[in-house]
């Protein structure tokens, strides 16, 4: 089995807030990130797929096709958006780096022909990342 990773970048705004909590509880848990005006980040997305090398093409998956899938399913939907306000999965889920990784997995799972999704890694620049390898 071969692991193959493709990278993409996007920028998005968000805030952290649990609607069932009071303003004080949100500020206590999330600090300045609870501000409903939000703030932005640059993100790097890495998608790793696993599979066997096709003996004829030499590919596990065509990297151009993987890039197109990532762009269609994630980047075009998240890039330059306010995640809480514009992306359906974050209307009721706090868009932490961890939850973004899980949401990306759900968006990509089963959509890469000839390969199995192995890992999604989301970096919130400059130095925070979350890995998701399925199972939730």
Backbone angles phi, psi at 82, to 5 degrees: -95, 110
Q: Are 26 and 94 in contact (CB under 8 A)?
A: no
Helices (H), 38-96: 63-70, 76-78, 83-86
Q: Which of 33, 86, 89, 98 is catalytic?
A: 33
Residue that is written with structure tokens 């206590």 in the block = 28
To the query of whether residue 33 is one of the catalytic residues in this protein, the response is yes
To the query of whether residue 80 is one of the catalytic residues in this protein, the response is yes
Q: Which of 86, 89, 98, 124 is catalytic?
A: 124
| SS3 label, residue 58 | coil
Q: Are 38 and 84 in contact (CB under 8 A)?
A: yes
Q: Which of 25, 80, 89, 109 is catalytic?
A: 80
Backbone angles phi, psi at 50, to 5 degrees: -125, 145
Please give the positions annotated as active site: 33, 80, 124
């Amino acid at each position: 089995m071969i692991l193959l990773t493709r990278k993409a970048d996007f920028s998005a705004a968000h805030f952290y807030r649990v609607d069932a909590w009071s303003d004080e509880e949100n500020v206590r848990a999330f600090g300045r990130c609870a501000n409903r005006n939000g703030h932005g980040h640059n993100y790097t997305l890495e998608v790793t797929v696993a599979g066997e090398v096709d003996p004829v093409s030499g590919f596990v998956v065509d990297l151009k096709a993987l890039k197109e899938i990532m762009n269609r399913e994630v980047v075009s939907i998240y890039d330059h958006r306010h995640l809480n306000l514009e992306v359906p999965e974050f209307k009721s889920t706090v868009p932490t780096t961890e939850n973004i990784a899980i949401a990306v997995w759900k968006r990509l799972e089963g959509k890469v022909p000839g390969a199995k999704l192995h890992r999604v890694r989301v970096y919130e620049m400059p130095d925070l990342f979350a890995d998701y390898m399925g199972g939730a």
